[in-house]
Amino acid sequence: MTYALCLAAIFIFCASLFIPPFISFSDEEAGAKLYSLFSPLCHQKLSRSSCIFRDSLGYYINDCTPQDGMFVPNDAGQISAMRNGDLGYKFPVCTRDLGIYFALLLGMAAYPLVRKIDDENVPPAIYLVIALIPIGLDGGVQFASDLGILPFVYESSNLSRLVTGAIGGFAAAFYLIPLLMNIFSESRPSKPKTR
């Protein structure tokens, strides 16, 4: 039951990431309010986000802005972008976060194929640390570059953000589920009462 509820919650959260952009196509003001609900979760920089664009054939997902390796300051408040003449609205979280959340969902869905759902043994932490190294390197070097600490400018691409986020998110599922099973285990024998 714990696994099913957690999987459903992550699925609903991932599905909710599509709501602000789609609402914005019909009512940008209402969409902007929805973006503000997600702002505590992410910096929401347009240049580090993916957008849902609409053209004559329908909708498609692409980078909101060209990924040319240049830092773009003060673009967190922008929710829309034009690409090849098509209007698009960003997801309410950046591309790295999209990778984390959707890979977490995928990892949770794949979990029963690899391990028993009720297994409360948490894998060794070193594997999670290894999975988070790509995020740490990509995001850390980018952050240090943003601060001007490095002698060069580094702005990661949305592809590297997506891939590094996905590695960490997928691995996190294999830690989250056993931790939740430990917390909410229905099969754990009750401790004998002491007098």
- Could you report the per-residue pLDDT of 110-124, keeping only the tens digit for each? 999 999 988 889 999
Spatial separation of the C-alpha atoms in residues 44 and 113, rounded to whole Å: 34
pLDDT for position 31 = 93
**Interval 20-61: pLDDT, tens:** 999 999 999 999 999 999 999 999 999 999 999 999 999 999
pLDDT for position 1 = 83
pLDDT for position 72 = 81
Give me the residue spans of the domains in the chain: 18-90, 95-183
Mean pLDDT of 73-91: 91
Cβ pair 41, 97 in contact under 8 A = yes
Of 93, 105, 100, 104, nearest to 64 by C-alpha is 93
Rg of the Cα trace of the chain?
A: 20
Of 71, 12, 80, nearest to 46 by C-alpha is 80
Spatial separation of the C-alpha atoms in residues 87 and 54, rounded to whole Å: 6
Spatial separation of the C-alpha atoms in residues 93 and 99, rounded to whole Å: 10
Residue with tokens 């459903």: 8
CB atoms within 10 A of CB 139: 17
Look up the pTM and report it.
0.89
Given a cut of 60, whether residue 187 has pLDDT beyond it is no
Given a cut of 50, whether residue 192 has pLDDT beyond it is no
pLDDT for position 12 = 98
More confident of the two residues 20 and 193: 20
Say if strands 86-90 and 50-55 run parallel, antiparallel, or are unpaired: antiparallel
Cβ pair 118, 108 in contact under 8 A = no
CB atoms within 10 A of CB 132: 16
Say if strands 50-55 and 58-63 run parallel, antiparallel, or are unpaired: antiparallel
